[in-house]
Amino acid sequence: MLGKFCPLHKGHQYLIDTARRQVERLYIVVDNIMDDVIAVSQRMRWMRQEYPDAIVLTQPSPLPQDPSETPLFWDIWREALLALLPERMDVVYASEPYGERLARELQAAFVMVDAARQHVPISATVLRNSLLSHWDYLSDAAKRDLVTTVCVFGPESTGKSTLTRQLADHYHAPYVAEYAESVIRARNGDIRFEDMELIVRGHHERIGQALSALPPLLFVDTDAITSKLWSDELFGRRSPVIEQVIRQQHFTHYLLLDVDLPWVDDVHRYRPGERMAFFDRCLHELTVRGKSYDIIRGQGDERIRQAMEAVDKRLLL
């Protein structure tokens, strides 16, 4: 079978599962299209994760996508597929009308599967236009790659925890609370160097647990970079575990909160007079590590408005 699988969804999987039950050897050709929003390597990886028993291939270069582009359309595709496939195909499975002509070109039988989308009422175009609304139709492999993770990041007393909860409520999404606060409160503010490794491991484990549910969107209050900065600030050193976790954490986007809110004292806050310097270190870390970020400023509704605008941009496939 041939398709873009952009992204791989349950309609595709219904087609593939139908074919798997009826053939001895299944070939899946993932169309290599130059201007697609999802790279062919990623689409092939999804296919191999979901169907390790199938033979997944792609043509070495993009080919015409519609017969209107060239009168040689079917000649080009026939020769490309015959060169790509290592053996003669007995049957072609598809959910689109082009499959019948493709089967004739390959001198194979043709099986149309759920052309009316009755079993799985979704298309890749609909998914791309509204990924969040149709998330449940995605394959699990695609969900793991396409989840949008937003880290709310910055100095003390800038409203990170409040904004994280507000965003989660607005988008009806899960969130991971800051792990450090519970550790610091348990120590009554007397944090030790050994606690930094406990904090970064605990927070990372919570993020992993939240992601294992394959949500479309996840908000996270601070990350391992924050632990690095605080370890440097409080102890002048850091555990190698912190850098290890930083390398393992990959957020879609960061919301770096400015220090334009009044200081609010709390047992887990330490440096009321150094928020601007800490903000500069946060900004430096995001910049040198090549992270995607927006700086969020303003109070009340303006702060949440800026944050939601930044998140909305990341939700577009």
pLDDT at 191 over 90: no
Residue of 262 and 79 predicted with greater confidence: 79
Q: What is the pLDDT of residue 274?
A: 78
Q: What is the pLDDT of residue 268?
A: 47
Stretch 84-98: mean pLDDT, rounded?
96
| pTM flag (> 0.85) | yes
Stretch 92-104: mean pLDDT, rounded?
96
pLDDT band at 317 (very low <50, low <70, confident <90, very high): low
Residue type, 166: Q
170: tokens are 């607005």
274: tokens are 């150094």
Residue of 305 and 268 predicted with greater confidence: 305
% of the chain residues with pLDDT over 70? 96
pLDDT band at 262 (very low <50, low <70, confident <90, very high): confident
* CA pair distance 286, 289, nearest whole angstrom: 5
Contact between residue 295 and residue 276 where contact means Cβ atoms under 8 Å apart: no
